[in-house]
Amino acid sequence: MCTNIVYEWLKTLQLAQYAESFVDNGYDDLEVCKQIGDPDLDAIGVAVPHHRRRIHEAVRRLKEADETAAGLYFTLEPQP
């Protein structure tokens, strides 16, 4: 399997064993991973309760990071 952002994300969660299953089920980027719920974890094959909790917590953090960044923007135009 090639290394991608989902693999790296799962590796930081110490859950890299699920990376191939995530990608096989269409969870190949973090934007898609933000939508993961219990039915998705069932389909992916994450059955261990503390692994599921770890993933849910990480998804919550991804969503929070988006909300924090939503108020920021950058411009390439020179300032007067």
Pairwise CA distance, residues 8 & 14, whole Å: 10
**Domain residue extents for the chain:** 5-71
Q: Is the dihedral of CA 5, 10, 14, 19 positive or negative?
A: negative
Pairwise CA distance, residues 64 & 58, whole Å: 10
pLDDT in tens, 30-71: 999 999 999 999 999 999 999 999 999 999 999 988 776 655
Q: Is the pTM of this model over 0.85?
A: no
Q: Show Cβ contacts of residue 29 under 8 Å, excluding neighbours closer than 6 positions.
A: 4, 5, 6
For domain 5-71, the CATH superfamily is: Transcription Factor, Ets-1 (1.10.150.50)
The two three-digit tokens of residue 15, written as one number: 């859950």
CA separation (Å) from 7 to 30, 43, 68, 69, 80? 10, 17, 24, 23, 43
- Per-residue pLDDT, 1: 45
